[in-house]
Every structure is written in structure tokens, then in C-alpha cells.
Amino acid sequence: QSALTQPRSVSGSPGQSVTISCTGSSSDVGGYNYVSWYQQHPGKAPKLMIYDVSGRPSAVPDRFSGSKSGNTASLTISGLQAEDEADYYCCSYAGSNTFVFGGGTKLTVL
Amino acid sequence: EVQLVESGGGLVQPGGSLRLSCAASGFTFSMYAMNWVRQAPGKGLVWVSRIKSDGNSIGYADSVKGRFTVSRDNAKNTLYLQMNSLRVDDTAVYYCTRDYEGLAYWGQGTPVTVSS
């Protein structure tokens, strides 16, 4: 159960697009289409942004999108806004009723 | 409205035990798998345990296997986490989450501090 690998930080200017990667293995990300992404602002509970690789809850803006290729999943945020500045975590099902999170990525909106 | 309210956290000495509870409301609790996720101070999210809707399928992170036990009472709409042999590195905020199309609902968390 090794944590998924995410970049520690990414940044972008308002209006730009950023992509956060999440690399695992064939035992988790590559083996299941159950990758989800969470946004967390300081002192708050995490918020689901993407489920099942590319599904988006109705309340999440369509500026947020997810994808997967092999053992790497990605979260893309287009049209960056100031309120997007937060920590982002990926999570994957890893079989046998287990999940694994990534280490988290701090997004800075310049 | 879906609500998850954790309780039972607190300060405990290394080697001690705590039982966390998560009271669920606003949905049919017995139909959903539930998870515990924790977050140490200043650190990232770490998945801890999952229990399916009927309580018969359970998974644990390696770091807590053999020490933590997840359970649920569908009649009381409550999820539990029995934590034994607690270690300093178990110090974290513990969240319960509902599992369906991602972890869509989270409680506000209950803090656990393991310290002498």
C-alpha cells in the first residue's frame, strides 16, 4: 500500500490551465477505473471533485476534468480562479476493499 | 441532507485505546459502504479502513491492521472504529466518509492525539 505519487506543488495564473498528475501501479490506478480527486482548503474537510476517473459531481464546475492513461491519472483545472487555490489529493481503489491516497499537491494561483 | 458526525476523539497515552463513532443521517445508511480516512497535523490524507454495507467485507491499511477494527450498526445508523495499541503516529483528525461514486460526503472529523 504505497502512496500514489503526486507533484508537491503546481501553480498557474488566473485563467490558465493546470494539470496535476497521480502515478500509481497496475495494482491501483492502472488496474481499476476508480480514481477520485479531492480538494481541501485549510481547516476544511475534503471535497470530492472527480470520481471514477472522469465523473464530475453536479455541483463541481466543468472547469475540473479527470483522465487516466495506464498507471497515471490526471486532474486538469481550466480557467483557473483564485478560489481554486487549495490542496488536491488523488485516491484509487487498490483491490480487496482497500484504497490509497496520493501525497497531495498544493495548487497556488499566482 | 446527508450528515456525518464523528465523535469519540481525544487525548490518549501510547498503548491506549479509543472508540470513534460516526452518526449518519439524511440517507439510507445500510445501503452504503463507509470509510475512515485520517490526516495527521500538516500532512496528507491517508485511507484507514472500509466496511461494505452489510458489514461482511472489510479492508484496512497495513499501518493499522491488527490494531484497529471497523464495524457498523445499521439499526443505529452508526459507524465505529475501535483503535487499540495506539501509537504516537496515529495522531490525526479522523474522518468518516460515505463511499459511492467517490467519497462524496465527509464528516468534520474528530481529533485523536496520542501522547504521554
In this predicted structure, what is the pLDDT of residue A28? 96
In this predicted structure, what is the pLDDT of residue B84? 98
The string of pLDDT tens digits covering residues B92-112 is: 999 999 999 999 999 999 999
The string of pLDDT tens digits covering residues B15-71 is: 999 999 999 999 999 999 999 999 999 999 999 999 999 898 999 999 999 999 999
Statement: residue B12 has pLDDT above 80:
yes
Which chain A residues touch B47 with a CB distance below 8 Å? 91, 98-101
| Partner B contacted by A58 (CB < 8 A) | no
Nearest CA in chain A to B101: A51
| Partner B contacted by A24 (CB < 8 A) | no
Contacts (Cβ under 8 Å, ≥6 apart) of A42: none
d(CA B38, CA B86): 14
Which chain A residues touch B70 with a CB distance below 8 Å? none
Residues of chain A below pLDDT 50 = none
In this predicted structure, what is the pLDDT of residue B79? 98
Other Cβ atoms within 10 Å of A101 Cβ, number: 23
Average pLDDT over residues B83-93: 98
Size of interface A-B (CB pairs under 8 A): 67
In this predicted structure, what is the pLDDT of residue A1? 72
Which chain A residues touch B104 with a CB distance below 8 Å? 48, 51, 57
Q: What string of H, E and C letters represents the secondary structure of B38-74?
A: EECCCCCEEEEEEECCCCCCEEECCCCCCCEEEEEEC
CB-based burial label for B16 (10 Å; 0-12, 13-18, 19+): middle
| Partner B contacted by A99 (CB < 8 A) | yes
In this predicted structure, what is the pLDDT of residue B32? 97
Contacts (Cβ under 8 Å, ≥6 apart) of B26: B1, B2, B3
